[in-house]
Chains A and B, each alone.
Chain A
Amino acid sequence: DAGVIQSPRHEVTEMGQEVTLRCKPISGHDYLFWYRQTMMRGLELLIYFNNNVPIDDSGMPEDRFSAKMPNASFSTLKIQPSEPRDSAVYFCASRLTTEAFFGQGTRLTVV
């Protein structure tokens, strides 16, 4: 298996623009997580899904953030409109049993 695949790896956008981050989990995994990593706050859980259903989105910072999982092999995290403080590395991870497997991350820079 190719592991968790995220795209793009890097994204630079202007403030106010819409940003969409994409994730393909490992086939057969039933949990999918979105994390955000910053120097100040470390790794924060934004939202997670079980069998494509959102379970807990309490970590989503604002209504500007939304996430979907239309099927078992694809998820998106959207920020609209983006702001400079959204600059961070966003990780997607999937899990079947105990440990989570992480993608390489998307480094988002909002200028």
Chain B
Amino acid sequence: AQSVTQLGSHVSVSEGALVLLRCNYSSSVPPYLFWYVQYPNQGLQLLLKYTTGATLVKGINGFEAEFKKSETSFHLTKPSAHMSDAAEYFCAVSDLRGNTPLVFGKGTRLSVIA
């Protein structure tokens, strides 16, 4: 079975500061990993994904994440937070073939302070 743990249900950063949202996964098979963002009253939108190949992946809006197999982690970062980054962020995992449904973490709410 696969699972995702997101450390911190709420993270608050100042505008211009580094954003770091933590995600650890558990999977008995090589995983596919995803970060989604949800703005208020909206559906989930894909930020970035790791499938195979380069372990540092870049996504939309300046976000990136690094797959670290030894640490079973897939943390999301952005060098400089913007007010528009305030949203809920979800980490998700599926199996290597992508044949299983996405299993989501509980989410982390990011607040950006002016």
A interface with B by C-beta (< 8 Å): 4, 31, 33, 42-43, 45, 48, 56, 91, 93, 95, 97-105, 107
Closest to A31 in B: B101
Closest to A56 in B: B101
Asked if B25 CB lies within 8 Å of chain A CBs, one says no
User: Contacts of B107 on A, CB cut-off 8 Å?
Assistant: 42-43
User: Contacts of B103 on A, CB cut-off 8 Å?
Assistant: 45
Contact B43 A97 (CB under 8 A): no
The count of residues in chain B whose C-beta lies closer than 8 Å to any C-beta of chain A is 21
Interface set, chain B 23-52, CB cutoff 8 A to A: 32, 34, 36, 41-46, 49, 51
B interface with A by C-beta (< 8 Å): 32, 34, 36, 41-46, 49, 51, 90, 94, 98, 101-107
User: Contacts of B41 on A, CB cut-off 8 Å?
Assistant: 107
Contact B44 A97 (CB under 8 A): no
Q: Would you list 21 pairs from A and B whose C-beta atoms are within 8 A, ordered by A residue?
A: A4-B43, A42-B104, A42-B105, A43-B104, A45-B102, A48-B101, A56-B101, A91-B43, A93-B44, A95-B98, A97-B98, A98-B32, A98-B49, A99-B46, A100-B101, A100-B102, A101-B46, A102-B36, A102-B43, A103-B43, A105-B42
Contact B44 A42 (CB under 8 A): no
Closest to B98 in A: A98
Closest to B104 in A: A43
- Distance, CA A105 to CA B38, complexed state (A): 11
Given contacts A97-B98, A98-B32, A99-B34, contact A43 B43 (CB under 8 A): no
